[in-house]
Structure 1
Amino acid sequence: MPMMEILNFSLSSKQTKSTVRKLKVDVYGIDVQINEKIQITVAGSHRVVLTFNDPNDMAPKAEFRWRVPSQLIPNPGFRFEQWPNHLLYIFNQPRIRNLVFDGVPCIQDLLSFRRTFDKFQSLTIHSTCPDHVAQEVLNNFRPKNKLVLKKHMPDIDHYITSNLDEIHMKTIIELDQLLIMNSNLISIRTPKFSSRDMNRFLKLWIAGSNRNLEVLGIVFESPPGLEMNKVLKGISHENVPDDVGRKFTDWRIERLSWVVYGGINIRRRGDGAIATIKYVADNRIFYMYVSPS
């Protein structure tokens, strides 16, 4: 059944809504993007994007994959918050997957809008968001698993200590902020850290900081790159030959894994966890992969 028919059928009655849910349509997630308009994307083999050009007009335009013409879907009397809830229900999704802000939002009252989303997995704030909007979003929207910041945000301490699975940031942070992050995956683009900072970080990791960390990636935006003799000063380490690989299991999906070849191994005191350090691109990109002993 084409997606347009599925959507229209689900809006006919409570019974047809339940019938569509039982179809178990192949959907990977439902995403919401907010700028001068609102878009709800149902991602899957039957991908569809519902676009709300006016927050006061709840009859969205539906855009489909594979060159199917865009069509307007009649509003059955829904307020906006009923649309994502309806889609979550009929497509058997527990929560919104990604909530994305990438410009000036068409919604004036973001705090009231926040109540639309009970739970969502990931929050992304793009550089196109005005500073005051980005800060308001950060203060009021709390993701369950993942935070992506693509602009500098001065007040992030309450977020980086909130046990998110993943944090991806393009911002200026201090080393002390990195040391209090509790995430499994941390990805940072920053001009801030020096070789001496990274040496201190590794020594504190060996002593027991960042115990949840499994993957760390840092891109240093301001040259020069790291001086590895300073990064490793006073640290017991082992150089791994380039043809020797270590397998790491993805903590998010156990059946997935990857192999890291070469690098430098260091060991944490106490539990014996091993971190493999890799640096590339003239030492301006630093990776650290952690596995149990």
Structure 2
Amino acid sequence: MPIRLLSLPDKDLQYALNCMDICDLIALSLCSKQTKNFAKLSNRYIEPISVQVYDNYVRFEIIPWDIHQPIIPITFLASSDSRINLDRGNGAELWRKRKFTQSDWIAHFLSIFDESMIDELVISDFCPISYLDNVKQIIPKCGTLRIPRDCSMELTKAAILKLAPLAEEVEVNKNIFIDDISLFLSYNLNALVIIDRITPLKLELSDLLVLNITDLTVVTANVTGRELNRFLKLWMKGNYTFYRPKSIEFQLNFGMPVNCEEVFKGIKYATVDNRRRLTRADGKELLITFSWIYVDFKFL
């Protein structure tokens, strides 16, 4: 005999929601605004959502905190209709909700699991550049935009140009900035991480002066003590009052260590907890952690 689920007392309704697996909870949430609110009140927790972009579709997995609950792979098709492919573990199912776009699906999942954004957006080397515009429409915001090493130079640059504004942090796992690093460093980004231990990123004074990224991390960097010394002297003169960066961190090339004396030649500083503190006439301060293969600037 069918039971009117929504007519159950609050305690029994909560028990019924807790007994549902993730797929059933999602299905319930799609019935109406009321059932969506019930699904949200179930307080079902999931792992941070990571989205992978492939040939002409995006895919992510809903991973419950409860290890006894199944992992649910969900695929968004390339078409702009309201369909998704969802796998309960016994074969893929095609789900459709009338008038739902792909953006609506993403927003719905984030809402019922009380997530503010996609945690990670990963671009695969199979993703055509033309599909990035679709991704931009589907994903409203993400914590980290991650571009793996196997992506081509053209795809990596296009992904940064089109998708970086969606991300709180951009992580690039290959040095593709052979000729135009200054262009990318001038972007208005919260955080950029460049990782390439095979081909170090060459940095010069001009690159550091145009830097418009709040937090920059480079593993590994090829920068000379002379260039760092010139940068510090210019900063001490106060010509860059509105310098945006808050943190610049380099792991230096093992084959080209930087001489500490060369970096701080002609610069007055105080030593605080094994770190060097530079203070300008206008009161601005720079705290530097330095070793032969590691440099960390913190602008206070």
State the TM-score, normalized to the length of structure 2: 0.73
Give the CA deviation at 1:235: 0.7
Q: Secondary structure at the match of 2:206?
A: helix
For residues 186 and 104 of structure 2, what CA distance do their matches in structure 1 show?
A: 32
1:139 maps to 2:161:
yes
CA contact (8 A) 1:102 1:127 kept: no
Unaligned runs of 5+ in 1: 63-68, 245-261
How many residues are paired up?
262
Q: 2:147 aligns with which of 125, 136, 140?
A: 125
TM-score (norm 1): 0.74
- Distance in 2 separating the partners of 1:20 and 1:188: 43
Secondary structure at the aligned position of 1:145 is classed as strand
- Aligned equivalents of 2:270, 2:74: Cα separation in 1: 54
Say whether residues 1:152 and 2:152 are aligned partners: no
Q: Is the 8 A contact 2:76 2:102 kept in 1?
A: no
Q: Kindly provide the CA deviation profile for residues 97-153 of structure 1, in whole angstroms up to 9, marking residues without a partner as x.
A: 322213222785322332112333432211111222212212211234222122223
Shift of 1:216: 2.1
Matched, 1:276 2:276: no
Cα distance in 1 for partners of 2:72, 2:176 equals: 30
The answer as to 2:189 corresponding to 1:177 is no
- Alignment of 1:167 with 2:192, yes or no, is yes
Q: Identify the range of structure 1 (48-57 vs 267-276) with the bigger mean alpha-carbon deviation.
A: 48-57
Match of 2:14 in 1: none
Question: Closer, same or farther in 2 for the Cα pair 1:82/1:267, shift >3 Å?
Answer: same
- Tell me if the contact between 1:58 and 1:79 (Cα under 8 Å) persists in the aligned partners: no
Once residues 148 and 287 of structure 2 are traced to their aligned partners in structure 1, the CA distance between those partners, rounded to angstroms, is 31
Tell whether the 8 Å contact from 1:55 to 1:80 is kept in structure 2 after alignment: no
The 3 A distance-change label for structure 1 pair 196 and 156 is: closer
Matched residue of 1:128: which SS?
coil
Select 1:266's aligned residue among 278, 297, 300: 278
Go from structure 1 to structure 2 and tell me whether the alpha carbon gap of 1:213 and 1:112 turns closer, same or farther (over 3 Å shift).
closer
Q: Deviations over 1:7-46 (max 9, x none)?
A: 2322344432232223344457433222356332457735
Structure 2 counterpart SS, 1:85 = helix
For residue 71 of structure 1, report the CA deviation from its aligned partner: 6.8
> Residue 157 and residue 41 in structure 1: after superposition, are their counterparts in 2 closer, same or farther (change >3 A)?
farther
Other-structure match for 2:296: 287
**Is the counterpart of residue 225 in structure 1 residue 253 in structure 2?**
no
**Tell me, what secondary structure is at the counterpart of 1:15?**
helix
Distance in 2, matches of 1:50 and 1:168, equals 29
Write the distance in 2 (CA, Å) between the matches of 1:169 and 1:224.
18
Name the CA distance, whole Å, in 1 between partners of 2:271 and 2:127.
Answer: 50
Percent sequence identity over aligned pairs: 19
What is the SS of the residue equivalent to 1:181?
A: coil
The one-letter amino acid of 1:153's match is I
Q: Which residue of 2 aligns with 1:205?
A: 235
Structure 1 letter corresponding to 2:281 = R
In structure 2, distance between residues paired with 1:112 and 1:229: 51
Distance 2:153 2:87 in 1: 30
| 1:257 aligned partner | none
RMSD, aligned CA: 3.2
Quote how far apart the aligned CAs of 1:190 are: 4.1
Q: 1:101 aligns with which of 117, 123, 132?
A: 123
| Cα distance in structure 2, aligned partners of 1:236 and 1:173 | 24
Deviation at 1:194, TM superposition (A): 0.8
Structure 1 residue 195: deviation in Å? 1.0
Q: CA deviation at 1:187?
A: 0.5
In the alignment, the residues of structure 2 paired with residue 268 and residue 24 of structure 1 have an alpha-carbon distance, to the nearest angstrom, of 51
Partner amino acid, structure 2, of 1:33? Q
Q: Give unpaired runs (5+ residues) of structure 2.
A: 1-17, 196-200
With over 3 angstroms needed to count, the CA separation of the structure-2 counterparts of 1:211 and 1:53, relative to structure 1, is closer
| Residue number in structure 2 paired with 1:111 | 133
Give the structure with higher Rg (CA): 2
